Structure 1
Amino acid sequence: MTAYQIGEMVSLIFMAIALGMDAFSVSLGLGMREIRLKRIAVIGIVIGLFHIIMPFIGILLGQVISQQIGQYAVLAGGLLLVGIGAQTVFSAFNHETRRFVQPVGAGLFIFAVSVSLDSFSVGLSLGMSQVKAVIALLLFGAASMILTWTGLILGRKVHGLLGVYSEILGGSILCGFGLNMLF
């Protein structure tokens, strides 16, 4: 592996963790509902799958857009990551309480889509930057699944001490990678 490849892999790992932080913070609150361990396993797997599907769609669209706009692709991708990260940080300061749907059936689908929407946008910007899609998707899915499990289990124990701080950390990491792409 070259230094560039190692750097790209480290960036993807940190980006995967940043994307999974949203699922982690929401799972902390959801975990306070005393969800059974079997349900926790299913929720984590579904969240992980959606963190693969949503950025995959984004990457495909990003590659199409990249071929159309060429040199502006990296600029657009960087701005998109900064925007997503800033929105994540600002939403962490929104003090409205979130209403959670039941994590079964359609409620689980809604929950999975809501926490993976940001990964669609990140996938769009990654598609513009010609990143290795399979590695990125697997990292996004694995990180979000593990962070969801961690959040649900910690939520049962901690009762919400880290929720806002994890969103701020995740948003800051996305902003940092966006700025890195821009400069």
Structure 2
Amino acid sequence: MNIDFLMGEILTLCIVAFALGMDAFSIGLGMGMVKLRLQQIFRIGVVIGLFHIIMPLLGMAAGYFLSGVLGEVAVYIGGALLAILGVQMIYASLKKDEAPFVTPTGYGLLLFAISVSLDSFSVGLSLGIYGTKPLLTILMFGLFSMVLTWFGLLIGKKVQEHFGTYSEALGGAILLGFGLKLLLPI
């Protein structure tokens, strides 16, 4: 395998992992406004990181299956899914209702982690169709989302609602860009 190709794939995965983690970051900013102890912040980040490993892994498994069945058309389906997800994230960032749906403790934490990581299932599906390396992908998704969740929660503790909307819109724009890249190869 060509080292340039591998480095390009790693860079691409880092950017996608960052884009997915921005969703967790922006939600973490809002949740950080709730009075949380550092131990809770640590636990929330780890749980969200684990769900950002599990959900794309499930999506990639489904994507590999679809890739074998659909062949070349599968790449365009994956691109369309990424583009739709990006538009959805941008749209969600423009909505004014930013009240947290759940509190990040107990069962609320599990529900919170599932809701934050659902988009990574779709991205995993797209990347599974595209044929990326599963272990590298899920580890990067988990690491980026965990660290960005921690940052969001910690900054949310200190700062009032300045970055949440913009970071989710940035994540959506990145996913939209990668979706368009797959749909319109140059």
Q: TM-score per shorter chain, which class?
A: over 0.9
Task: Name the counterpart of 1:153.
Answer: 154
Shift of 1:5: 1.3
Instruction: Give the secondary structure class of the aligned counterpart of 1:8.
Output: helix
Instruction: Give the secondary structure class of the aligned counterpart of 1:24.
Output: helix
1:136 aligns with 2:137: yes
Q: Which runs of 4+ in 1 moved over 6 A?
A: none
- Scaled by the length of structure 1, the TM-score of the pair is 0.98
Task: Name the counterpart of 1:65.
Answer: 66
1:52 aligns with 2:53: yes
Amino acid at match of 1:103: P
Equivalences for 1:17-28 in 2 at 5 Å? Answer: 17-28=18-29
Query: Is the 2:59–2:128 Cα contact (8 Å) retained in structure 1?
Result: yes
User: Structure 2, unaligned stretches of length 5 or more?
Assistant: none
Rounded to whole Å, the distance in 2 between the matches of 1:157 and 1:4 is 41
Shift of 1:99: 2.9
1:4 aligns with 2:18: no
- Scaled by the length of structure 2, the TM-score of the pair is 0.96
Shift of 1:103: 1.2
Query: Is the 2:30–2:100 Cα contact (8 Å) retained in structure 1?
Result: no
Amino acid at match of 1:32: M
Task: Name the counterpart of 1:13.
Answer: 14
User: Structure 1, unaligned stretches of length 5 or more?
Assistant: none
Rounded to whole Å, the distance in 1 between the matches of 2:72 and 2:103 is 45
Task: Name the counterpart of 2:178.
Answer: 177
